[in-house]
Amino acid sequence: MATYAIGDLQGCYSAFRRLLDQCAFDPARDRLWLVGDLVNRGPESLEVLRFVSGLGSAVTAVLGNHDLYLLMLAAGVKRRASDDTLLQVLEAPDCDSLLRWLSTLPLLHVEGEHVLVHAGLLPQWSVPQALALAEEVGGVLAGKNSKKLLRNLLGDQPDAWNDELKGWSRLRVIVNALTRMRFCTVDGHMAMRAKGPPESASRGTLPWFALPQRKSRTHTIVCGHWSALGFYRRDGLIALDSGYVWGGKLTAVRIEDGEVFQVPAN
């Protein structure tokens, strides 16, 4: 059995299948870890959702910000952006069942020494604390208050964690950290508007994973989200968004031995 962690698919189903062929992935034997952003920007979001949801226990996927955006559109709490590619999903006859499946995906998955997440973990959070907070959000997202949650996720504030936070502000910080964060200040405030490569960081900010006081250094974080960072590995980190949808590559890493598989954009 092998476990293949794969970067942001973003509706690029054909490339995804080419990458699985290159890995010789067998759903009866192997497992997939998907770092989120299954949908949007690419042209085949519907095909991605149908295929991944059909893999059953062979796949573990976490939610990314584009996946949450799709749930917001379907719930009617956000208007479609002019450049999204999700109309085919929203008009599909099986849209409701696909979105029910999507809404059950976790924001964080912990297995052994690895953590699967879309964006990252705030430096104040240990892995057990981050998992508990992710499950707190997941329980609301899969429950009767899911529409209220989706409506209240919009916004960048508060931009830092505080154990005393309550209500929608508390859940918003958790979701923003796990699905949108790239840079943090040295005291743990998220710089939500910063999107460039690490060297573009403004004074006083660092990539979230570079903060020396980060409590999640006990595990290897497997993440995506940051196409300007690209495929990047260091001790305790495997970053997998290599920007296929922007003309880069789609990347997989076999967790057991670290072998890398990639397909370039057409």
**Could you report the per-residue pLDDT of 191-224, keeping only the tens digit for each?**
998 889 999 988 889 999 999 999 999 999 999 9
pLDDT digits (tens, 9 = 90+) for 2-44: 999 999 999 999 999 999 999 999 999 999 999 999 999 999 9
pLDDT of 130 reads 98
pLDDT of 50 reads 98
Structure tokens at 194: 């910063």
pLDDT of 201 reads 85
Q: Which residues contact 202 (CB under 8 A, 6 or more apart)?
A: 183, 191, 194
The better pLDDT of the pair 83, 179 is held by: 179
- Does 187 score more than 90 pLDDT? no
In this prediction the pTM is 0.97
Q: How many CB atoms lie within 10 A of CB 51?
A: 17
pLDDT digits (tens, 9 = 90+) for 117-169: 999 999 999 999 999 999 999 999 999 999 999 999 999 999 999 999 999 99
Burial of 57 (0-12, 13-18, 19+ CB in 10 A): exposed
Write phi, then psi, for 205 (nearest 5 degrees).
-120, 155
Compute the distance between CA of residue 239 and CA of residue 224 in angstroms, rounded to an integer: 5
pLDDT of 193 reads 87
CATH code for the domain in which residue 56 is found = 3.60.21.10
pLDDT of 266 reads 81
Structure tokens at 35: 């770092």
Sign (positive or negative) of CA dihedral 54, 144, 121, 178: positive
pLDDT of 186 reads 86
pLDDT digits (tens, 9 = 90+) for 44-101: 999 999 999 999 999 999 999 999 999 999 999 999 998 899 999 999 999 999 999 9
Compute the distance between CA of residue 124 and CA of residue 150 in angstroms, rounded to an integer: 25
Burial of 77 (0-12, 13-18, 19+ CB in 10 A): middle
pLDDT of 57 reads 96
Number of domains in the chain: 1
Give the residues across from 249 on adjacent strands: 243, 264
The average pLDDT across 97-120 equals 98
Note down the domain range covering 190. 3-264
